[in-house]
Structure 1
Amino acid sequence: MKAAGLALGLGLSAVLAGCGNSSSSDKSDPTVELAYVEWDTEVASTNVIAEVLKEEGIKVKTTSLDNAVMWEAVANNKADAMVAGWLPHTHGAQYDKYKDQVEDLGVNLKGAKIGLVVPDYMKVDSIEDLKDQAKKEITGIEPGAGIMGATEKALKDYKNLSDWKLKQSSSGAMTVALGQAIKKKEDIVITGWAPHWMFQKYDLKFLKDTKKVYGGEEQIHTFASKKLKEKSPDAYKILKNFNWTTDDIESVMLDIHDGTPPEQAAKTWIKENQTKVAEWTK
C-alpha cells in the first residue's frame, strides 16, 4: 500500500495538461484517462487494467497523482476512473467528500489489511503473544504513515507491548531488514500490509489483533467519473467487471519489484490469466 514515491508537484493542472502515458496521439476516438497513486498496489492494478483496455482497442492514458488530487480529478471529470479506492478506512475521508460526484463501480479486490507481520517460523500468532522477541522492537516505515500511528496506539493498548519500541525507517529499509532476518532465521516484527509482494516472496503471517487497533479488512474499489459510461461504454463495462485476488496482484507486484517494467509485468500476467481477463471483457 505504501507509496513507492509519490509524483511531486502534480495537481489538477497535470491532469489538464494530459500528463501520463498515452497509447496514441490520434484524437478520433476518446482516450480513457486512469488516475492512480504510485503505491505498489496501484502501479500493478492500473497497468494491468490499462493493458486490458488497450487490447480491447481503447485508447488509454495513465496519470500519477497525489491521493487527494486523484479523487478530485475523477470527481471533477478531469480523469475518467481509478482502481485505487481503499475503503472503508484508508480513503474514508475522500469518499465522504466526493461520493456524490463519482460512481462506485464496485470492489476490485478483497482482503486488503494492515497490521503487525512476522515470519511464519516465529512461534507467535497474536499481538498478545509478543514478549521479548526481536529485542522488543517493531521495525516500522516512514513516520506519518497511517500504520505507524496505529502501531503507536498498539504499544499503548496492549499491556505486553508497554516496553516495546517502534523503529522508524522506510518501506524499502523495512523489507531489506525483513529479508536479512529471514535469511538468518532471526525474529523480526514489522509493520505490514497486504497486498504486498513480500507475501509472495516469503512465508509470513499477520498477528491477530484482538483489540482491533488496526481496523478490519479493507476493500479496494473502482471509481469512475459520472461521464465515463457515456464517453466509453466499453471501458465502463470492463472497469465495472474488473476484480482479482490478493495472489493475482502480489504476483504482478513481485515481478515489478524484481525489475520487470510495469507494462511488461502487466502483459505477462494477462497472457497467463486469459480466462479471468475474459470475464472482465465479456
Structure 2
Amino acid sequence: MNPLAKLMTGALVFTSTCAFALSVHAAVPESSDPIKIIDNNWSSQKVLARVAQQLLEQVGYETRLVPADSQGQFPAMGLGDLHLQMEIWEGTMAQNFDKEVKAGRMTDMGSHVATTREEWWYPNYVEEICPGLPDWKALNACAEKLAAVETAPNARYLAGPVDWIKHDQERIDALGLNVTVVNAGSAAALFGELKSAAARKEPIILFNWSPNWVGAAFPGKFIEFPEYSPECVTDPSWGINPDKTYDCGNPVGGYLKKGAWSGFEEKWSCGFELIENISFTGPMIDQAAAMVDVDGLSHSDAAAAWIKQHQQEVAEWMPACAS
C-alpha cells in the first residue's frame, strides 16, 4: 500500500514515546523574533524547510519561510537577514557557503547522512539513440541525434533554472562539446519536460540530482565526465584542457549540509540543538519530494505527513532542552 494511503487510513501506529515528540514545547523561547527559514524552488528543499519549521514551532519558536535563490541566500544569511538553510548541496553551493563560513558569518551545522550527486542525466532509453553514453565523448558523436529544432545541429541540454548556477557553458567550452544549454524555468518544468519526452521515447539530456524521486520513476544514468577535483574549478592547467577551468564533472558523493546565520546558536540555542540533531537519509529525502511531485500534496502537508511517518526519528532529534 502507498505510504500516504496508509497514513490516510490510520494504518500507522504511534507509540507513546514517539507521540511525545509532537507535544514538546520550550517553556520560554530565548527570543520571540521569528527564525527566518530559507524556501528555495525545488520540492525536497521546500519539504525539508517545512519539516524544520514545524518542529521548531512545536518547540515553541516563531518561524517564517522566506523565498531566496540558491546563491543570493548565502550573503543574506551572512548578514543575518536569513537564518537557516536545510539543504546545502556541495555541487552547486560549496563556494559561496564556504566563503561565509570562513568569514565567520555562517555556521556549518553538519551534514545529513544523505550524500549527493548533481549532473547531466538521461533516461535509459536514450542509450538506444546514442549507444556511446554515459561516456561524455558520445555527446559530440550523437549531437545531431540529441538536437532539437532550436539547437540543431548541436545537442540540446535542458538545465535547471538560471539561479541554479552550474557553470554548464564553461564546461561545454572547456570540453569542446557541441551542446546548447536551454534553461527550464523551474524544477516542475524540468521534470514536466522529462515526463513528456519519456512518454514519446524522445531523446532528452537534462539536469538531475540525487537524492530525488526521479530515478525511481524514470530509470536512467548520469553522464560520466572527467572526474571532479577542486583544482578543476580554480586552476586552468589542471585537467584535459590546459587553458580552461571546469573541464570535469561535478562531485560524486558530495555533501548535503545544514547551515545557519552565525548568531543563530546564541539567539535560539535550543532550536540550534534541534537543527544540529536533524539528519535525513537519501530515501527520506526521496520520500519527501515524492509526496509533492508524485502524490500531489502541498509542501506543508507533505512535511506534516512526513513527520507523522517518522515519529521515531523525530523523537530522537528532539533535544533535552525542549522537554
TM surpasses 0.5: yes
**Do the aligned partners of 1:33 and 1:63 also contact (CA within 8 Å) in 2?**
no
User: Are the structure 2 counterparts of residues 154 and 182 from structure 1 closer, same or farther at C-alpha, using a change threshold of 3 Å?
Assistant: same
* 1:103 correspondence with 2:121: no
How far is 1:127 from its partner? 1.9
Letter of the 1:51 counterpart: Q
**Do the aligned partners of 1:139 and 1:167 also contact (CA within 8 Å) in 2?**
yes
Q: Tell me which residue corresponds to 2:55.
A: 52
Q: Tell me which residue corresponds to 2:38.
A: 36
**Do the aligned partners of 1:127 and 1:208 also contact (CA within 8 Å) in 2?**
yes
> For 1:1-282, what aligned pairs fall within 5 Å after superposition?
30-40=32-42, 41-67=44-70, 70-87=73-90, 90-99=93-102, 100-108=104-112, 110-123=114-127, 124-130=133-139, 131-132=141-142, 133-135=145-147, 137-141=155-159, 142=161, 145-147=164-166, 149-150=167-168, 152-158=169-175, 161-162=177-178, 164-171=179-186, 172-212=188-228, 213-217=248-252, 218-258=254-294, 259-282=296-319
Residue 52 of structure 1 aligns to a residue whose secondary structure is helix
More strand by share: 1
Residue 115 of structure 2 aligns to a residue whose secondary structure is strand
Deviates further, 202-211 or 71-80: 71-80
Residue 90 of structure 1 aligns to a residue whose secondary structure is helix
How far is 1:128 from its partner? 2.9
Deviates further, 48-57 or 71-80: 71-80
Q: Tell me which residue corresponds to 2:243.
A: none
**Aligned mates of 1:277, 1:89 — CA distance in 2:** 28
How far is 1:28 from its partner? 9.0
**Aligned mates of 2:277, 2:116 — CA distance in 1:** 19
**Do the aligned partners of 1:74 and 1:224 also contact (CA within 8 Å) in 2?**
yes
Q: Cα deviations across residues 73-106 of structure 1 (Å, max 9, x unaligned)? A: 4334444432243336524134314531222111
Number of aligned pairs?
253
Residue 134 of structure 1 aligns to a residue whose secondary structure is coil
CA RMSD of aligned residues (A): 3.1
Residue 39 of structure 1 aligns to a residue whose secondary structure is coil
**Aligned mates of 2:76, 2:175 — CA distance in 1:** 41
Q: Cα deviations across residues 23-45 of structure 1 (Å, max 9, x unaligned)? A: xxx99963551331422142121
**Do the aligned partners of 1:35 and 1:65 also contact (CA within 8 Å) in 2?**
no
Identity %: 17
**Aligned mates of 2:211, 2:69 — CA distance in 1:** 20
Q: Cα deviations across residues 157-216 of structure 1 (Å, max 9, x unaligned)? A: 446x44x44444434443222112212233322132334443343223212222542331
User: Are the structure 2 counterparts of residues 157 and 74 from structure 1 closer, same or farther at C-alpha, using a change threshold of 3 Å?
Assistant: closer
Residue 226 of structure 2 aligns to a residue whose secondary structure is coil
Question: Which structure 2 residue ranges, 5 or more long, are not aligned?
Answer: 1-27, 128-132, 148-153, 229-247
**Aligned mates of 1:129, 1:94 — CA distance in 2:** 34
Deviates further, 241-250 or 53-62: 53-62
**Aligned mates of 1:145, 1:73 — CA distance in 2:** 17
**Aligned mates of 1:226, 1:168 — CA distance in 2:** 34
**Aligned mates of 1:28, 1:95 — CA distance in 2:** 28
User: Are the structure 2 counterparts of residues 30 and 197 from structure 1 closer, same or farther at C-alpha, using a change threshold of 3 Å?
Assistant: same
Letter of the 2:32 counterpart: P
Residue 170 of structure 1 aligns to a residue whose secondary structure is coil
